[in-house]
């Protein structure tokens, strides 16, 4: 497994979300942009110019988006992003695991779902993402965690199968419910679903906080990246 594998799966996930939610994916020379639910993202360019980056920012404004992100390898010159008004953000820690080693009993507090009303009050638009889970053949899975079976919603995780690599994304346990094993249950649920569909390895990007959990579950860090962000003023 390499960092390039991790980047490929991450870019595939962003493209898949954009296509499912009516966003756009386009290229501008060597640059690939995805317009998804969390804004416009420039995915792992090997080189770029300030003019090309600024064209992407203009397109984000035209589409009424409020944030533009750029995901880079550490060997890519970020100067055009700085010149276009971007600020350096957090560093993804790329981690991987052999799925055959993740074998433990399922957590009764965690359930795979293809729809949910958990978001109706605070984020009703999130429900549109479940169209990904219902696509066939299956390549996307969603798991929800609860404080006990059928009780309070406590966290979520997604997995996305790209060939035989399973990307783990948007994994969160709400702060009041952390350190209770729910995160471990979520991770194993979405990994097991991807493994059943033919996944051999899992990849993810971790924050320092998340790395503690992933390391305990058998993931190993293989590299690091960097993100840059541009927040757009309201139209």
Name the percent of the chain lying above pLDDT 90.
87
Average pLDDT, rounded, for the chain: 94
* pLDDT value at residue 59: 93
Q: Determine the pLDDT at residue 235.
A: 46
Domain residue ranges of the chain, discontinuous segments joined by +: 3-93+225-231, 96-222
Supply 229's token pair. 């962000």
Q: Are strands 140-146 and 25-28 parallel, antiparallel or unpaired?
A: unpaired
- Hey, what CATH topology would domain 3-93+225-231 get? Aminopeptidase (3.40.630)
- Residue among 64, 165, 147, 162 nearest 110 (CA): 147
More confident residue, 57 or 208: 57
Q: Which residue has the higher pLDDT, 113 or 105?
A: 113
- Please determine whether the domains at 3-93+225-231 and 96-222 fall in the same fold group of CATH: yes
Mean per-residue pLDDT, 118-123: 93
Q: Name, in order, each residue with C-beta under 8 angstroms of 157's C-beta and a sequence gap of 6 or more.
A: 142, 143, 145, 168, 169, 170, 171, 172, 186, 187, 189, 190
The per-residue pLDDT for range 134-153, each reduced to its tens digit, is 999 999 999 999 999 879 99
**Token pair for 230:** 């541009």
Architecture of 96-222 per CATH? 3-Layer(aba) Sandwich (3.40)
Q: In whole angstroms, give the CA distance from residue 130 to residue 111.
A: 14
Residue 234 is predicted with a pLDDT of 55
Question: Given pLDDT bands bounded at 50, 70 and 90, which one contains residue 103?
Answer: confident
The residues pairing with 42 across neighbouring beta strands, listed in sequence order, are 33, 70
| Residue 162, preceding peptide bond in cis (omega within 30° of 0) | no
Residue 78: closest CA among 92, 94, 89: 89
């Amino acid at each position: 497994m390499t960092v390039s594998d991790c980047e490929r799966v991450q870019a595939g996930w962003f493209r898949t979300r954009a296509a499912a939610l009516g966003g756009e994916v386009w290229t501008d020379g060597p640059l690939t942009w995805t317009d998804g639910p969390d804004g416009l993202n420039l995915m792992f360019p090997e080189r770029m110019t300030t003019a090309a980056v600024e064209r992407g920012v203009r397109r984000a404004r035209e589409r009424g988006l409020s944030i533009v992100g750029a995901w880079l390898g550490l060997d890519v010159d970020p100067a055009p992003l700085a010149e276009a008004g971007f600020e350096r953000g957090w560093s993804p820690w790329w981690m991987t695991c052999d799925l055959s080693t993740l074998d433990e009993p399922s957590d009764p507090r965690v359930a795979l779902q293809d729809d949910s009303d958990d978001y109706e009050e605070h984020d009703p638009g999130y429900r549109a993402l479940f169209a990904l889970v219902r696509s066939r053949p299956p390549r996307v899975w969603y798991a929800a965690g609860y404080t006990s079976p059928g009780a309070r919603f406590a966290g979520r995780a997604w997995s996305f199968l790209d060939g035989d690599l399973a990307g783990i994304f948007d994994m969160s346990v709400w702060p009041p419910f952390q350190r209770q094993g729910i995160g471990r249950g979520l991770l194993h649920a979405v990994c097991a679903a991807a493994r059943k569909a033919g996944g051999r390895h899992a990849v993810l990007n971790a924050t320092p906080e998340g790395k503690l959990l992933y390391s305990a579950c058998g993931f190993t860090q293989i590299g690091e990246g960097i993100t840059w962000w541009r927040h757009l003023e309201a139209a």
